Amino acid sequence: MKQFFLFFIVLAALFIWGCTKSNKPITPPPSDGYQLVWSDEFNYTGLPDSSKWSYDVGGTGWGNNEAEYYTNARLENAEVKDGYLHINAIKEDYQGKQYTSARLVTRTKGDWLYGRIEVSAKLPSGTGMWPAIWMLPTDWAYGSWPDSGEMDIMENLGFMPYWIVATVQTKIYSARLGTQKTSIISILDCYSDFHIYKLEWEASELRFYVDSQLYLTFKNEGTDYTVWPFDKRFHLLLNIAVGGTYGGAQGIDNTIFPRSMLVDYVRVYQKK
């Protein structure tokens, strides 16, 4: 479940942060002690590798009144070609909805406790787009959302172009209470170039980056799961939502479709 007041957060950030022009990303080698444990380089053609990816399917609104129907292994919405994963949002009538898209998940095929998660992606532009790279608990050991936690590595609202948002949600730091931990960075070529959206997840803290730029740190306060539910395994999600409570706060521009998020690679590292 994804519920937080991105619109209001971004507006507030306009008064706090200045624009930072990000250069084309340069991938640093893993730091000492890290090794690659899971990856998809998308060097094949067709549907995403079924040994690594599954799909969340349906048009329920996903807790945010979203307008799309997420399809299941449908090439039109999730296709690997030319070395990239293409997640495609399309305007079409489908299962009672006016838009389709895909929500890919690694659940039970890629689940991790701690590590470095890197996703190199180019984002879709346009009012109504809401792309996301994020993580949810696999086992929900501490209860339903937000008690078991959520880590949003990258979100972008199309009606507020260039702002990249990272957010952490827990039982006491959540949108439900207006206490979620969020930070924003401006990436002026996020729609025209690839950037590395990265989470470094350790037992002591979470660190969120775009390329080499650290822009959110969330620390383990040493209390209990209400602050730090991040001692259980999580999985990765990649999706484009269309519209919804936040993505559609200024409507949906129907002239922009189709729109795609391109993913160059996903790499997960853990310490030996």
Cβ pair 2, 152 in contact under 8 A: yes
What sign has the CA pseudo-torsion 221, 225, 228, 233? positive
Whether the bond between 258 and the residue before it is cis, its omega within 30 degrees of 0, is yes
Distances (CA, A) of 228 to 40, 75, 123, 167, 236: 29, 38, 30, 14, 18
Per annotation, catalytic residue among 79, 118, 150, 200: 150
Per the structure block, which two tokens stand in for 131? 């792309």
Under DSSP, the state recorded for 231 is T
Query: Residue 31: what pLDDT?
Result: 57
Question: Annotated catalytic, 150?
Answer: yes
pLDDT at 183: 98
Query: Model-level pTM?
Result: 0.91
Distance in angstroms between the alpha carbons of the first and the last residue of the chain? 32
Burial label for 75, CB within 10 Å (0-12, 13-18, 19+), is middle
At 219 the pLDDT is: 98
- The size of the chain, in residues, is 272
pLDDT, block means (10 residues), the chain with 272 residues: 48 40 44 89 98 98 97 98 98 98 98 98 98 98 98 98 98 97 98 98 98 98 97 98 96 98 98 88
Beta bridge partners of 80: 46, 85
User: 155, 200, 202, 221: which one is catalytic?
Assistant: 155
CA dihedral 111, 112, 115, 119 (to 10 degrees): 10
Residue in the block written with tokens 């807790």: 63
- Which position has the token pair 């690659």? 36
pLDDT at 272: 83
Q: Does the annotation count 155 as an active-site position?
A: yes
The total of other beta-carbon atoms located within 10 Å of residue 2's CB is 27
pLDDT (0 to 100) of residue 192: 98
- pLDDT for 79 equals 98
Q: Give the list of residues 6+ apart from residue 71 with CB closer than 8 angstroms, or none.
A: 55, 57, 77, 78, 94, 100, 101, 102
Domains and CATH numbers, the chain: 6-271 (2.60.120.200)
Say how far apart CA 61 and CA 66 lie, in whole Å: 4
Angstrom distance (rounded) from CA 160 to CA 165? 11
Residue with tokens 């997960």: 268
Local structure of residue 21 (DSSP, 8 states):
P
Cα–Cα distances (Å) from 56 to 26, 60, 102, in that order, read: 32, 11, 8
State residue 180's pLDDT score.
Answer: 98
